[in-house]
């Protein structure tokens, strides 16, 4: 099987923070309740979270285009407000649109499309991720990819057979 890195997005891929969708949405909701902007350090204190952990959630939200980080602050983007305003199903659609643009997800989806007739296994995706984001632990990235990918219904994953599929 061709694990081809000559195809697909060749930009350096950013790490995927290991943060769930609920926490990301919760962050945006919290910020909106405070007028849309807060100092990150202060936020960490208020949430009784480690600064590092807070930064990870902020980074994840930023990756999804929900917030940006001017100075030492985190501020909700109009897209972020739109996502929170949306209904539960509409949210998924909005997030899917953003996710489809992220290089890692684009790559994984293209990979799945190419292998349409064959089964794509967990191992194959892990290998792909290790290739795309060599500095990170592939297992961690894998679980975030599966988590966000499932939420946005970009693809499905079955842990019994350990296979991915596109059929949504």
Partner 1 sequence: MSMDEVMIEMKNVTKRFLLPQGEVTVLEDISFQAREGEFITMCGPSGAGKSTLLRLVNGLLQPSSGEIFYQNKIQKGMNKETSMVFQNFGLLPWLTVAQNVELGLEPRIREIQARHDKVHHYISKVGLEGYEEAYPRELSGGMKQRVGLARALAVEPSLLLMDEPFSSLDVLTSINLRNELLDIWSDRDNMVNTMIMVTHNIEEAIELSDRIIVLSNRPGRVAGDIKIDLPRPRRKRDKEFMEYVDRVFSLLA
Taking CB under 8 A as the binding criterion, the range among 4-12, 68-76, 81-89, 122-130 that sits at the site for partner 1 is 81-89
Tokens of 16: 């995927």
Min separation Cβ 125 and partner 1, Å: 15
Instruction: Please answer whether residues 21 and 95 qualify as being in contact, where contact means their C-beta atoms are separated by less than 8 angstroms.
Output: yes
Q: Which is nearer to partner 1, 24 or 108 (CB)?
A: 24
Taking CB under 8 A as the binding criterion, the range among 9-17, 18-26, 107-115, 124-132 that sits at the site for partner 1 is 18-26
Tokens of 159: 């842990």
Q: Which is nearer to partner 1, 27 or 120 (CB)?
A: 27
Instruction: Please answer whether residues 126 and 139 qualify as being in contact, where contact means their C-beta atoms are separated by less than 8 angstroms.
Output: yes
Q: Which is nearer to partner 1, 8 or 67 (CB)?
A: 67
- Find the binding residues for partner 1 in span 123-152 (CB under 8 A): 143, 146-147, 149-152
Cα torsion 23, 29, 32, 33 to 10°: value is -110
- Strand pairing report for 120-121 and 163-165: antiparallel
């Amino acid at each position: 099987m061709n694990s081809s890195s000559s195809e697909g997005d060749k930009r350096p891929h950013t790490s995927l923070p290991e943060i769930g969708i609920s926490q990301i949405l919760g962050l945006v909701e919290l910020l909106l309740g405070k007028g849309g902007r807060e100092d990150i350090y202060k936020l960490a204190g208020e949430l009784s979270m480690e600064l590092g952990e807070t930064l990870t959630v902020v980074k994840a939200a930023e990756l999804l285009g929900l917030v940006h980080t001017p100075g030492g602050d985190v501020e909700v983007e109009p897209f972020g407000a739109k996502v929170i305003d949306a209904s539960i199903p509409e949210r998924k659609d909005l997030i899917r649109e953003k996710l489809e643009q992220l290089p890692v997800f684009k790559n994984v989806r293209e990979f799945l499309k190419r292998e349409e007739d064959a089964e794509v296994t967990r191992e194959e995706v892990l290998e792909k991720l290790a290739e795309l984001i060599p500095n990170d632990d592939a297992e961690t990235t894998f679980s975030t990819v599966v988590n966000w990918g499932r939420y946005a219904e970009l693809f499905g994953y079955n842990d019994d057979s350990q296979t991915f599929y596109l059929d949504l």
